[in-house]
Chains A and B, each alone.
Chain A
Amino acid sequence: EAGVAQSPRYKIIEKRQSVAFWCNPISGHATLYWYQQILGQGPKLLIQFQNNGVVDDSQLPKDRFSAERLKGVDSTLKIQPAKLEDSAVYLCASSWSWDNNSPLHFGNGTRLTVT
């Protein structure tokens, strides 16, 4: 079974620039998550999709972050404009369903450095 694919692996941008991350979940997984992991901290959920609908985006800074999963498969996360505090690893995860007994499968993440 192919895992969760993310790209790029690394990105360095200057503050106020834009950046986009891409995620391809495990085939057949209905639920997709974007997490932000700041160095030394646990992952923090940004947004959760069930198919192409948003289940939870309460912690997404909507003034600068956006995410979409138009066809219910791949997803993109965008930051515009970036701030220094956005430097983190952005992890994508997927699960079979959105209920509480479907474990998450993670990609290797995109490490973003904002200078």
Chain B
Amino acid sequence: GEDVEQSLFLSVREGDSSVINCTYTDSSSTYLYWYKQEPGAGLQLLTYIFSNMDMKQDQRLTVLLNKKDKHLSLRIADTQTGDSAIYFCAEILLSGGSYIPTFGRGTSLIVHP
């Protein structure tokens, strides 16, 4: 199975808040990332959070981290149609002495006008 798990789809109305959830596996991950992928493009870094934080806010984005449950969420306030994309959660796994960036399957966010 996947090391990083995400729900596959989320549909919201324009102007509402969106919350995308992720569970990760490695409690020693020091940084956790959110990436956005628009059709035909690569992944774009949205935001990240350091493991000694439980919340980070960046304009319309709020990241919440629950280390005990290994749960990460991304909240997008006032969701716009331009936010429609696939959102990936990523952790950095330490494997064999190497840091391996590992991604979930992505959550497809659909924003309805």
Contacts and interface: CB of A to CB of B under 8 A. Distances in A.
Interface of A: 4, 33, 35, 40-45, 48, 55-56, 58, 91, 93, 98-101, 103-109
Given A42-B4, A100-B29, A48 B42 contact: no
Interface string B31-54: 101010000111111001010000
B42 A109 contact: yes
Interface string B86-104: 0010001011101111111
B103 A106 contact: no
Given A40-B105, A100-B30, A101-B31, A45 B100 contact: yes
Interface residues on B, range: 20 to 34
12 contacts: A33-B101, A40-B105, A42-B2, A42-B88, A99-B99, A100-B31, A100-B94, A100-B99, A101-B50, A104-B43, A106-B43, A108-B41
Contact of A103 (B2, B4, B33, B94): B33
* Main DSSP-derived SS at the A contact region: loop
Nearest to B93: A100
A42 B88 CA distance: 7
